[in-house]
């Protein structure tokens, strides 16, 4: 059996930055503008929601960078919970990421990819699912062959995904003449700013994933904070500009009615049919790269848990392939769960349930910076969150607002996510008894 210490330290600053930008910028910026406008009730509040989502995310990234530098181990959030709060909380966090968050996000991205690819070639809805599943399986295979292959795809697709963003942003601001502000939504099921910000957070999510592979970084103390903060700043600016540009081309009501096709419609208006095809290919590359980043990083959580005998079949899941030095069994397990979710659900539901579930633990991770500073008062920090304690408090307050709003507005879905997380407790105690006897 191979251990974490035998994972190769292959990830430098350029790949680290591409993981942040590449796993954040994916489907959300192209799939969520209409949903955000619908939930917020209009264009002005929608832009505010995108800005607040960015502020919460950057504040969270600045805060987690300090935690991550102090705990530079593979596993990310799961390991942070275990180190700061103890084994049970670490286990619940890892269980949630293994059973809900990771597979749901991969599944949502796979479904978005299949939908857009089928539409590009005028295929029927029957093709959405098989195309999405095929993309997920292909990327799982590539990442099983070696971290450097997945990392190379990440770097290339990160650069390529800026093509549709730049084209829509520049041409939209230049050529568009629609009213950007105070344009209302035609749909009367507004859930409020909490739900709107939650929808933007799916588009911003991914920044925490770099911590999942911290144990494979060449210099995590130096590169982790630069990659997280620098990457998130680029992403926030890009999101605000592209939403502004889309609103200059299409009225808010039209963006809502177009739904996931709104970005393609904007491209068609700006550049005609051929231009729309080019943008659609760019969006597909963007989603493909984002999905690759998730498949590259997510399996590190069940791998780290299996090393601690905290999952069924831990002996298999904790193995590293002798040649590729990748956790192949953990990758296969995540993909199987993702495919099951793809068959049973839809991408919007999967993405919102996943983000709600992960933010329950993000809040605890933000609080951890206060605990670590008190617990390790004599330890010299290689990185400190700026404007402490203001920045961590912004991250905590913003995340609490989103979580509480979601509980109030979507109680059934929220309780379902919490219930699936708590199911992990009896599994934990059963496994503990089994391994103690063994």
- Top mean-pLDDT range of 195-209, 289-303, 333-347: 333-347
Round to whole Å and give the CA distance between 48 and 239.
12
Domain boundaries, the chain: 13-436
Round to whole Å and give the CA distance between 418 and 423.
9
> Residue 63 in contact with residue 292, Cβ under 8 Å?
no
- Distances in whole angstroms, Cα of residue 407 to Cα of each of 33, 227, 418: 22, 32, 10
Give phi and psi for 11, each to the nearest 5: -100, 115
State mean pLDDT over 365-374: 93
> What pLDDT was estimated at residue 3?
45
State mean pLDDT over 230-248: 88
Mean pLDDT (the chain) is: 83
13-436: CATH topology:
Amino acid/polyamine transporter I (1.20.1740)
Helices and strands: H and E segment counts in the chain: 21, 0
Q: How is residue 105 written in tokens?
A: 């996000």
> What pLDDT was estimated at residue 2?
41
State mean pLDDT over 280-290: 83
pLDDT in tens, 78-119: 788 989 999 899 899 989 999 999 999 999 999 989 988 998
Instruction: Kindly give the interhelix angle for 77-85 and 300-307, rounded to the nearest 10 degrees.
Output: 40
Round to whole Å and give the CA distance between 225 and 204.
17
State mean pLDDT over 392-412: 87
Round to whole Å and give the CA distance between 393 and 42.
28
User: Nearest Cα to 240, choosing from 29, 2, 11, 9?
Assistant: 29
CB atoms within 10 A of CB 30: 29
> What pLDDT was estimated at residue 1?
34
Q: How is residue 152 written in tokens?
A: 């190379």
């Amino acid at each position: 059996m191979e251990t974490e210490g035998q994972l190769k330290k292959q990830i430098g600053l350029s790949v680290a930055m591409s993981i942040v930008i590449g796993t954040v910028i994916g489907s959300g910026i192209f799939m969520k503008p209409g949903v955000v406008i619908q939930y917020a009730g209009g264009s002005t509040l929608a832009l505010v929601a995108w800005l607040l989502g960015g502020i919460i995310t950057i504040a969270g990234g600045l805060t987690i960078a300090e935690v991550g530098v102090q705990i530079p181990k593979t596993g990310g959030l799961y390991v942070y919970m275990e180190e700061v709060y103890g084994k049970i909380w670490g286990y619940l966090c890892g269980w949630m990421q293994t059973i809900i968050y990771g597979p749901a996000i991969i599944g949502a991205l796979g479904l978005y990819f299949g939908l857009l690819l089928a539409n590009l070639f005028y295929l029927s809805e029957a093709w959405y699912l098989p195309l999405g599943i095929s993309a997920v399986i292909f990327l799982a295979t590539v990442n099983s062959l070696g971290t450097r292959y997945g990392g190379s795809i990440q770097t290339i697709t990160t650069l390529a995904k800026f093509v549709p963003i730049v084209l829509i942003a520049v041409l939209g601001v230049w050529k568009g003449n629609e009213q950007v502000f105070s344009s209302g939504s035609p749909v009367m099921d507004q859930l409020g700013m909490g739900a709107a910000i939650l929808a933007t957070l799916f588009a911003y999510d991914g920044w925490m994933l770099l911590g999942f592979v911290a144990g494979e970084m060449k210099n995590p103390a130096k590169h982790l904070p630069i990659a997280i903060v620098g990457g998130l700043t680029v992403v926030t600016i890009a999101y605000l500009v592209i939403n502004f540009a889309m609103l200059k081309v299409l009225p808010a009501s039209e963006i809502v009615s177009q739904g996931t096709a709104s970005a393609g419609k904007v491209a068609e208006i700006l550049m005609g049919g051929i231009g729309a095809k080019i943008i659609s290919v760019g969006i597909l590359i963007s989603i493909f790269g984002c999905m690759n980043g998730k498949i590259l990083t997510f399996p590190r959580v069940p791998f780290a848990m299996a090393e601690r005998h905290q999952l069924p079949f831990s002996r298999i899941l904790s193995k590293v392939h002798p040649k590729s030095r990748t956790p192949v069994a953990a990758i296969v397990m995540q993909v199987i769960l993702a495919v099951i979710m793809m068959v049973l659900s839809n991408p919007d539901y999967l993405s919102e349930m996943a983000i709600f579930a992960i933010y329950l633990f993000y809040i605890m991770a933000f609080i951890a910076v206060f605990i670590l500073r008190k617990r390790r008062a004599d330890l010299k920090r290689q990185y400190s969150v700026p404007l402490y304690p203001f920045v961590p408090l912004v991250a905590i307050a913003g995340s609490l607002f989103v979580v509480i709003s979601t509980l109030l507005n979507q109680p059934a879905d929220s309780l379902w996510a919490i219930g699936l997380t708590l199911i992990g407790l009896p599994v934990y105690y059963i496994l503990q008894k089994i391994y103690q006897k063994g």
